[in-house]
Amino acid sequence: MDIGKYLQRIGLSSPPGALSLEALRSLHRGHLLAVPFENLSLHSGGRVSTHLPALYDKIVNQRRGGFCYENNGLFSWLLSELGFEVTLLSGQVKNSETGCFGPPFDHLISMVSLGQGVGGGGLWLCDVGFGSPGFREPLSLETTKTDTGEPQTQGHLDYRIRREEDMHFLECRGEGGKRKDGGEWTGMYKFTLEPRQRENFAEMCDYHQSSPSSIFFCKSLCTIATPAGRLTYIGHRLITTRFPTAQAALNTSKRELQDEEIPVDEPLADQALELADLEGEDADERHHHEQEGLCRRKSAENCPKNELPDTHAKFHVLFLFFVAAMFCISILSLFSYHLWLAFRAPVFRTGSDKNGFSLGFHKNVAQVFGDQMKYWPLPLFTR
């Protein structure tokens, strides 16, 4: 690893002078403001590797981003190279729809021990691979000495790490602009402090790249934190979030981007500035929108319409459409046959029973469709 090049990638000019809490906060915040949380490789025929040199090449050399196994995997390597004592932990993300937690190794996070003699001291949770509403600076794990966890405020959000025996639950409140002191706590993920190895996460990393049950497999996304909020691209949808200030409330705007609004060959800074209408922003904010311009360009190149990738999932969807079409054709055919029986019942040309199956139009209809007119569109009540 070229530490100097990595630090430049996250907006830092030189390594921290001491392994302090302030240095850890600076590295954590710099990574979040410079490296997008994205899964575009999964939707462009690529595969995500947890091999550290491959992560370094993608995020530092190619100036890309990644999801938790990539961003947190590489960031933990940087911390170790700088001399921090780092422990990998396994997180289980809570599904906002079902309220259920994912399986072990669903999320990769890091714990840093600063030691009692180091500025800040104690154990700190680091996570630069969660997206929104992830925390921007490390959270203290010392607050979990109480079961409820003391709130830790960052901007307009409160975080707490609640403990139940060996399990720790990360929760936040204030998302959506609600008052921090009055909003409800929302679960993000749970974890234990049991040390893990990088290879432990390989199976779940493959799962999120191949399973239709994983949101990363089903939707292309790219999001990055900015000093004043967050920019997010999902397919062709742009979501701009500005955090509340003393003068303004939380503001979120959404709109669909047209193809002509995504000029792939235009310089990244020009794309981002034109798209987000950033007049009057300072140099730092423009720098972070340049990074988001990279996300938009990659999204345009790799996932122009957020379509299903050409995999077995696409085949399954097409097969379901085929089965539905065959069912509709069968129902229409059966209904047509019943109409034919009512209007043109079979008859014989000669003989005493030349009327054959025809009892007259009205009786034919009653025989075929039943006596109750409300059931006539459904050929289910024939005699």
Catalytic amino acids? 68, 107, 127
Pairing of strands 221-226, 229-234: antiparallel
Whether residue 156 contacts residue 174, with contact meaning beta carbons closer than 8 Å, is answered with: yes
List, in sequence order, every residue forming a beta bridge with 111; answer none if it has no partner: 87, 125
d(CA 36, CA 293) in angstroms, rounded, equals 10
Tokens at 270, concatenated: 């020009």
Q: What distance in Å separates the CA atoms of residue 30 and residue 20, rounded to the nearest whole number?
A: 15
* Alpha helical stretches, state H, 236-359: 268-276, 283-302, 312-343
Q: Can the peptide bond before residue 133 be classed as cis, meaning omega within 30 degrees of 0?
A: yes
Nearest by Cα to 109 from 5, 188, 165, 21: 188
d(CA 58, CA 46): 12
